[in-house]
């Protein structure tokens, strides 16, 4: 079993739709979490951190469920420009430098 | 610029040659990471530096791969006797501190092609 798992998709949604991705992690001691987006043939870019209480940034909402060991990303009112691969990242914390990236979920927003 | 800088952007070389990839992290960032990504695949962790030390080099695929970091800044990833399966995009990232509490910022990557 992978340490971090994501549904690879692809998710194909119309403009304006709401779409949600989940990311499950296996290590209950994981301490910090992030969502990145990666455009085709580009480097990953930080989208948002994920806080314990959940957090929102415009149309994007991130949530953490420690009991079930998953994080989620909700995108409201999808735009064509949201088309990308979304990567979740899980870190163990201060004694471990390695971040574990999920393989990503591909989103295509269509007109 | 203020971001992570990698060079070269592209490298094409013959099988069996050695290559050296360079990463300039964001100024002041103490942690530096190397990853590689094959086409259509996820990120594969290679090595992590905290300052000039590499507390986690568990991802280096073979002894042909090595990396160093000097002055707590620039890092080089060296691949000796390259093989075709080494072809990938090599990505470098840095973060303010290690430990994963701070997000990583990526460079544009080096696209390595082994003929």
Quote the pLDDT of residue B70: 92
Contact residues on chain A for B103, CB-CB shorter than 8 A? 34, 46, 49
Nearest Cβ partner for A93 among B100, B103, B108:
B100
Closest chain A residue by Cα to residue B39: A41
The string of pLDDT tens digits covering residues B37-80 is 998 889 999 999 999 998 888 899 999 999 999 998 999 999 99
pLDDT at B99 over 80: no
CB-nearest partner of B31 from A32, A93, A97: A97
Helix (H, G, I), strand (E, B) or coil at A3: coil
In the predicted model, what is the mean pLDDT of residues B76-97?
96
CB contact under 8 Å between B103 and A34, yes or no, is yes
B56 close to B47: Cβ distance less than 8 angstroms: yes
Name the residue among A34, A17, A20, A3 with its Cα closest to residue A79: A17
Q: What is the DSSP letter of A49?
A: E
Residue of B96, B101, B48, B93 lying closest to A32 (CA atoms) = B101
Quick: pLDDT tens for B1-36: 589 999 999 999 999 999 999 999 999 999 999 999
* Chain A: residues touching B (Cβ < 8 Å): 31-32, 34, 42-46, 49, 87, 89, 91-104
**How far is Cα B5 from Cα B97, in angstroms, rounded to an integer?**
18
Question: B95 CA to chain A: closest CA distance, Å?
Answer: 10
How far apart CA B18 and CA B42 sit, in angstroms, is 25
Contact B84, B114 (CB under 8 A): yes
Instruction: Give the pLDDT confidence score for residue B66 in this predicted structure.
Output: 97
**Minimal CA separation from A106 to chain B, in Å:** 11
Mutate to test the interface with B, among A43, A62, A95 (most CBs of B within 10 A): A43
Measured CA to CA, the distance from residue B90 to residue B44 in angstroms comes to 9
pLDDT score recorded for residue A96: 56
- Regions in chain A scoring below 50 on pLDDT: none
């Amino acid at each position: 079993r992978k340490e971090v798992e994501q549904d690879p998709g692809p998710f194909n949604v119309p403009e304006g739709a709401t779409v949600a991705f989940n990311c499950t992690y296996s290590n209950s001691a994981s301490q910090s979490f992030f969502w990145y987006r990666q455009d085709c043939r580009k480097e990953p870019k930080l989208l948002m951190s994920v806080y314990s209480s959940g957090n929102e940034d415009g149309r994007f909402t991130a949530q953490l469920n420690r009991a079930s060991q998953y994080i989620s990303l909700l995108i409201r009112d999808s735009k064509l420009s949201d088309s990308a691969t979304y990567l979740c990242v899980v870190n163990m914390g201060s004694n471990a430098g390695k971040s574990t990236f999920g393989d990503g979920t591909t989103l295509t927003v269509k007109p | 610029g203020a971001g992570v800088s990698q060079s070269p952007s592209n490298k094409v070389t013959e099988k069996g040659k050695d290559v050296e990839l360079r990463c300039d992290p964001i100024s002041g960032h103490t942690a530096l990471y190397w990853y590689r990504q094959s086409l259509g695949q996820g990120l594969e962790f290679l090595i992590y530096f905290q300052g000039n030390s590499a507390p986690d080099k568990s991802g280096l695929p073979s002894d042909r791969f090595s990396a160093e970091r000097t002055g707590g800044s620039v890092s080089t990833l060296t691949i000796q006797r390259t093989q075709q399966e080494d072809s990938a995009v090599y990505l470098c990232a840095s973060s303010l501190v290690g430990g994963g509490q701070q997000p990583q910022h990526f460079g544009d990557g080096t696209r390595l092609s082994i003929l």
